[in-house]
Amino acid sequence: MAKQTAGDRPTAIFAPVGGGGLIAGLAVYVKEVAPDVKIIGVEAEGANILAQSLQQGSPATLMSVNRFTEEVGIKKIGTENYRLCKDLVDEVITVSTDEICSAIKDVFGDTRSLMEPTGAISVAGAKKYARVKNAHNEKYVAVLAAANMDFDRLRFVSERSDDRERFMAVKIPEKIGSFQDLYNVVFPHNVTEFSYRMNSEGDNEARICMSIQTKTQDEFIGVVKMINKRNDMHAIDLASNELAKSHLRHLAGGRPENVRPCGDCEVVTASLPIAHCSLLISIALCRSQTNVCSDSSSQSVPVH
C-alpha cells in the first residue's frame, strides 16, 4: 500500500491494538518507507493496555478487560511490542462500545461486509479522530483485522449502533396517566424502549428505563432538563453509562412485599462466560429467603 500510493500517501493508518504485534510490525515497515504517515492505535474502553502502558512508561497489566472486543482484550502487552510502539506509534485513541457498533453499521452500509467488533474498531477510531481533529480532505486507512461475527452479538450490535438512540432512567408518580404526562414532555421525540419495574403496593414512585431518539447529545440533554423541571419527575442521563446500557435495561420484574433491609443485600460480580456465570450466581445467591434479580441480557460479554 505504501508503494502503490507514492506521492498520494494516507495521512494516517489506524490499527487495532491487542498484544501489540500487529501495530508494532505495521509501524516498523511504514515508518521505514513512509515516515510522514502517522500510525495510530485504536483500543476499546476497558481494554486500553497500550494507552496505559505509554502513560506509566512501562508495560502495564490490566486486572480485567472489556470482552466486547475479545480478540484485542489483552491484559498485558508484549515487552518488545511495547518498545516498538513507544518509539513508532504516533497516537493512541480509545473508543466506546457504541462507537464500535456504529462503525460496524457504517462498514456494512458501505460494503455489505459484516465486521466483528475487533475488525471495526479501527474504523471507529478513524471516525472519532476525524471528528475530534475537525479533519477535512484527509486520507485515512483503517485496518479491518477480523470479520467473524456471530449471531449472539448481532442483536446487541444492532441495538447499540444507532447513535441517535439514547438511554435514561426516570422516576415518575405511581399513578394512572403518569406515562402519558412523561410522553407529553418527551414529544415529538420517538420513544424506542420502555422498561417498567413494578414496585411494592405502598411505593408511590415508578422507576422506569427508557430510550428516545434525538439528533444530537445536546438535544437529549435538553429533554432530560425538561423532565427535571417538573416537580413530580426526575430523569438521569445514562447515555454514556456502559453498565446501565448493557445490564440495567434488562432488569425487569416485580418486587416482593417482604423485602429485607438493604443492609442484607449482596452484590456479586463475575467475569466468566455466561453459562458459568449462571451457575456461580445460583450457588452464591440462591439461598433460602434470598431474592435474586437476574440480568436477562443475551450478549456474549461478562455479566456484572
pLDDT digits 0-9 by tens, 126-184:
999 999 998 888 889 999 877 677 777 777 777 666 667 788 888 888 888 888 888 88
**Which three cell numbers mark 139?**
486520507
Cα–Cα dist 51/44, whole Å: 10
Of 142-156, 184-198, 275-289, the poorest mean pLDDT is in 275-289
**Does residue 60 register a pLDDT over 90?**
no
What rounded mean pLDDT belongs to the chain?
79
| Higher pLDDT among residues 291 and 228, named by residue | 228
pLDDT band of residue 267 (cuts 50, 70, 90) is low
Distances (CA, A) of 272 to 13, 62, 101, 118, 303: 34, 16, 23, 20, 7
E strand or H helix at 43 = strand 38-44
Tell me the average pLDDT across 63-91: 85
Question: Can you name the residues that pair with 236 across neighbouring β-strands?
Answer: 169
**Does residue 98 register a pLDDT over 80?**
yes
Mutual orientation of helices 79-88 and 49-56 as an angle, nearest 10°?
A: 80
* pLDDT for the residue numbered 72: 75
Measured distance between the N- and C-terminal CA atoms of the chain, rounded to whole angstroms: 43
Report the candidate in 281, 271, 275 with the shortest Cα–Cα distance to residue 298: 275
Model-level pTM? Answer: 0.64
| Higher pLDDT among residues 156 and 272, named by residue | 156
Domains, the chain, in order of start with CATH, read: 12-160 (3.40.50.1100), 165-257 (3.40.1020.10), 266-299 (no CATH)
pLDDT band of residue 304 (cuts 50, 70, 90) is very low
Answer left, alpha or beta for residue 37, where phi above 0 means left and psi between -120 and 50 means alpha: beta
Cα–Cα dist 212/165, whole Å: 6
pLDDT band of residue 76 (cuts 50, 70, 90) is confident
* pLDDT for the residue numbered 140: 92
* pLDDT for the residue numbered 84: 94
| Higher pLDDT among residues 102 and 73, named by residue | 102
Residue 188: asked if its preceding bond is cis (omega within 30°), the reply is yes
Tell me the average pLDDT across 78-102: 91
* pLDDT for the residue numbered 197: 66
Count CA atoms within 13 Å of residue 295 on its CB side: 24
pLDDT band of residue 39 (cuts 50, 70, 90) is very high
Cα–Cα dist 196/238, whole Å: 16
**Does residue 83 register a pLDDT over 60?**
yes
* pLDDT for the residue numbered 29: 92
Tell me the percentage of the chain whose pLDDT exceeds 70. 76
Contact assessment for residue 300 and residue 153, using Cβ atoms and an 8 Å cutoff: yes
* pLDDT for the residue numbered 246: 73
**Does residue 295 register a pLDDT over 50?**
no
Tell me the average pLDDT across 256-268: 59
Task: Phi first, then psi: give them for residue 271, nearest 5 degrees.
Answer: -115, 70
Cα–Cα dist 221/76, whole Å: 38
